[in-house]
């Protein structure tokens, strides 16, 4: 059996319950490792710069209104991670804005766990 490549993920969502549930769902897959999570923008940006995840799952809707700006900042880092917006809002305008800001994908939170994992690996392996 070939060696499995483990994708290193960071989760950013202002809601701790959402972050925990998502980390728990993804931790069941041996090909993924959640290396960090935060709802705080400054903490998240520092940890992403330091830990260099392969992908960031990020909710663009934030109470501080900084979702798109955070995506821009991460996308402009040297060797940026894949930025996967994971949201509850099916808005074409928001999807377009997130992609222009640097998001790699825009997915809805009700996605099946297996499908989310397949998306993560497909985007990282590009």
Domain of residue 65: give its range.
7-124
Q: How far apart are CA 77 and CA 118, in angstroms?
A: 25
Structural domain contains residue 61: yes
Structural domain contains residue 102: yes
Structural domain contains residue 103: yes
The phi, psi pair for 56, rounded to 5°, reads -125, 125
Structural domain contains residue 1: no
Structural domain contains residue 91: yes
Decide if 102 contacts 116 (C-beta within 8 A). Answer: no
Nearest to 82 by CA among 63, 110, 107: 107
Cα angle vertex 27, ends 16, 75, to 5°?
A: 65
Counted domains in the chain: 1
Structural domain contains residue 2: no
53-86 pLDDT, tens digit per residue, is 999 999 999 988 889 999 999 999 999 999 999 9
16-41 pLDDT, tens digit per residue, is 999 999 999 998 999 999 999 999 99
CATH code: domain of residue 22: 3.40.50.2300
Beta strand ranges found along the chain (DSSP E): 7-12, 32-38, 55-58, 82-87, 105-108
Q: How far apart are CA 106 and CA 126, in angstroms?
A: 16
Structural domain contains residue 70: yes
């Amino acid at each position: 059996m070939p060696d499995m490549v483990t994708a290193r993920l960071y989760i950013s969502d202002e809601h701790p319950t959402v972050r925990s549930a998502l980390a728990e769902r993804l931790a069941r897959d041996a090909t993924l490792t959640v290396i960090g999570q935060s709802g705080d923008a400054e903490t998240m940006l520092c940890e992403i710069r330091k830990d260099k995840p392969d992908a960031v799952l990020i909710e663009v809707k934030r109470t501080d209104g900084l979702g798109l700006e955070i995506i821009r900042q991460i996308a402009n880092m040297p060797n940026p991670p894949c930025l996967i917006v994971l949201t509850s809002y099916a808005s074409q305008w928001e999807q377009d804005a997130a992609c222009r800001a640097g998001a790699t994908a825009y997915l809805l939170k009700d996605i099946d766990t297996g499908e989310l994992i397949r998306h993560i690996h497909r985007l990282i392996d590009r």
